[in-house]
A and B are shown apart, each in its own frame.
Chain A
Amino acid sequence: MAELNFLPTLPPAFTPPMLFGALLLLGLLGGEAARLFALPRITGYLLVGMLFGPRGLDLLGGEVTKQSRVFVDISLGLILFELGRRLDYQWLRRNRWLLATAIAESAFAFLALYFGLRYFDYPRLLAALAAAIGIATSPAVVLLVAHELRSDGQLTERMLLLTAINSVFAFFSVTMLLPFLHFQHRAGWTETLLQPLYVMVGSLLTGLVVSLLVLRFAAWLGKREDRQFIMLVGMIVLTAGLARSLNLSVLVALLTVGILARNLDFGHKLMEVQFGHGGQLFFVILFVMAGVSLRFDLLPQASYVAGMYIVLRFLGKALAILVFGRLSGLRPGAAGLLGIALLPMSGLAVVMVHDISGLYPEFGARLSAVVLSAVALLELIGPLATQFALKQAGEAGERR
């Protein structure tokens, strides 16, 4: 048989390109199926991931998750950068009530969750960290649902702005709670203080340096959208990879790049670049993989906590918007919808839980029980909630 060794071994090895193609096609089918039921496409991607994931048919297992990591990072990078660009400092400066809304929206969500969990006798630190993680809305879900609906208007703009801000707040709150966690686990003083400081300062600094490079690069390239597009994707992917290998926060680094590339661009050198079809490819992978890792096995045992977590979080956010929304110029009736639009939680929360689990597995497990079951539920209803809110607000584009 030696003369037939040009033949491959069977079954053929599952290579990354095959994986990429397969994930895309499966996601595509899921997305189209979802449209049949008027569900957001990303829900379809997610369901496909769940179906083929380890808790489903188990065709996309642990190795796949590792290999798809780079695609997930690219898509997260693109999303965080774009969301960061929606954080318009000038708007917050002119509309102080909007700034108040943003701060209150994060603060109230934290407080509602913290005191709610304390009421049910969760330990202080666990309640605080679970609450801090709950501040954040999923950047990927709100951005992609808004894109899919071609949504445009005050509610959409504010949803994106508040998401950018609450993601930042969530990260900083978690980071500032880390010293207490280290302390509780009797870590040395250096680790207790230096680890959070390193992550925070390092991520911000990386973001700053990259955003300045992006602006320089853009000025040199001139106003040519195709070139600027390539440059941006390159810089974003590079930053995501760099942040990961430096043990920094991909989230903070890329949000910072987006925020500063918008607000430091005094000469208006950077164009509005749409990631369009190219970006879509990565977003499909992102959500299929989110489905793969979705812990819906946690749902039955923790449904009570998860339900409470979701309700408290919504009440906190909605109350802040009800109190400050009108003052910031939100039209009557839109406050509740904005609260609903901000419901989604996803990958971001999972990443934060995993980071903590990486440090202290036992504590991480207890945190997962509270947060990840809520995330599992919100991954499913979140996109629907956002879609409902945007449509109800009359901001979705006309169907084509």
Chain B
Amino acid sequence: MILEFKQSPACTIGVELELQLLKSHDCNLARDAADLLARMKKVQHPGEVKPEITESMIELNSSIHRRYTDLADELRTIRNLVVHEAELLNLRVAGGGSHPFHQWSERRIYPTERFKHLVHLYGYLAKQFTVFGQHIHIGCESGDDAIYVIHMLSRHVPHFIALSASSPFYQGEDTGFASSRLNAISAFPLTGTMPFIQSWDEFNAYFERMHRFKIVESMKDFYWDIRPKPEYGTVEIRVCDTPLTVDKAALLAAFAQALAHYYLNERSQNPTPALYLVYNYNRFQACRFGFGAEFINPYDESHCALRDDLIATLKRIMPHARALDSATALSHLIDDAVAGRDDSSWLREQLKKSGSLNDVARLQSNLWMGKTERV
């Protein structure tokens, strides 16, 4: 079985957002995904709205864009349509990487063949998988480009984690992490990173071997942090928590796009195995401490604050952002990093102010539904 990498225009972007469905009266997770999806089928909307593993989740997919502002506009449009339909069912919709207080054992699996198979295979992990991530797709012209971009982006995984972190609470407790969501994912056997291979041919050889072992059937079975998606012709970054607003989701996509543009056009560095020696350390630091994490540079072996490396990166790729009309987005992210403004701290502030996690869930859904502005 040879995987064909479908060619797509370089540095186009699209996102998938996994979202929480909440009941209005207590802001716990609802079970109404099927009803909401049935209503969305009758509504003309851009992109796609799909089921996810449990009945408390839905997934929004954008179409493919060149400019992040178009992506943001489209996401807002879908958001508004989904919110309208959800409100008719007395549901709330929220971003954020985790629901603050739901109990995983109460979740119910969305009844499709694939999801049933996953429960059969993974047992309780499947229900614990009720966490919410943003996936960013970046178009690549060839499989070789995709492999190169994946390796180079892996250096930036901590950046994406810190920028998107929005899951400080899990099962009713403050985890102390900026992103606790990734801990729920690490339990699966095929997580982690792509092996250190250098071309699409090598990738195919690897895939075929895994397929012969019968460990995987398709690319879907790899839960890597960044993986190639040959049928779309994209590289898919999967480490982000779903942010609290659609606008932030578009900003993160703009960052990924500018990074890919920078690496594909400058090719100033080559992948090194050192990328993966520091990988787990850097990733853990980012999950635990967000902007306050420590960062090890795999190329010069220096230590610095993750925040400083992030700001330096954003500034370095700014010329490429200008070429992609996304300089504003990157400036915004620089401001956030300088001010230490992330979704996790916002959520913790809300708990301090309101005193209950039900209120936190309500406020985070208000934010996502566009009912309140973030201050």
Contacts and interface: CB of A to CB of B under 8 A. Distances in A.
Interface of A: 85-86, 88, 90-91, 94-95, 98, 150, 152-154, 157, 222-223, 262, 268, 271-272, 328-329, 331, 395, 397-398
Contact of B355 (A85, A90, A94, A223): A223
Contacts of B32: 153-154
Contacts of B88: 94-95, 98, 328-329
B86 to A, nearest CB: 10
Given A88-B24, A271-B356, A331-B35, 15 more contacts: A94-B87, A95-B88, A98-B88, A153-B30, A153-B35, A154-B89, A222-B355, A223-B355, A268-B359, A271-B358, A272-B25, A272-B26, A328-B88, A331-B34, A395-B31
B283 interface: no
Contacts, number: 55
Contacts of A329: 35, 39, 85, 88-89
Interface of B: 23-26, 30-32, 34-35, 38-39, 85, 87-90, 106, 108, 354-356, 358-359, 362
A154 B55 CA distance: 13
B123 to A, nearest CB: 14
Given A154-B35, A329-B88, A91 B24 contact: yes
B371 to A, nearest CB: 12
7 contacts: A152-B23, A152-B31, A153-B35, A271-B356, A329-B89, A331-B34, A398-B108
A296 B38 CA distance: 45
Contacts of B354: 223, 268
A223 B354 CA distance: 8
A227 to B, nearest CB: 12
A98 B89 CA distance: 10
Contact of A153 (B25, B31, B106): B31
Most chain A CB within a 10 A radius of its CB, from B85, B89, B358: B89
A398 B26 CA distance: 21
Contacts of A154: 32, 35, 89
A395 B85 CA distance: 20
Nearest to A398: B108
Contacts of A395: 31
Contacts of B38: 331
Label chain A's interface by main secondary structure: loop
A272 B88 CA distance: 22
A85 B31 contact: no
Given A223-B356, A268-B359, A271-B358, A397 B106 contact: yes
A95 B32 CA distance: 17
B82 to A, nearest CB: 14
Contact of B25 (A85, A98, A222, A328): A85
Contacts of B24: 88, 90-91
Contacts of B23: 152, 157
Given A95-B88, A154-B89, A88 B25 contact: yes
B358 A272 contact: yes
Contacts of B35: 153-154, 329, 331
A328 B108 CA distance: 25
Nearest to B28: A272
A263 to B, nearest CB: 11
A272 B358 CA distance: 8
Nearest to A92: B90
A45 to B, nearest CB: 26
B25 A86 contact: yes
Nearest to A154: B35
Nearest to A156: B31
A262 B24 CA distance: 11
A91 B356 contact: no
A329 to B, nearest CB: 5
- Pairs A-B, 3 closest by C-beta atoms: A223-B355, A272-B26, A223-B356
Contacts of A150: 106
Nearest to B358: A272
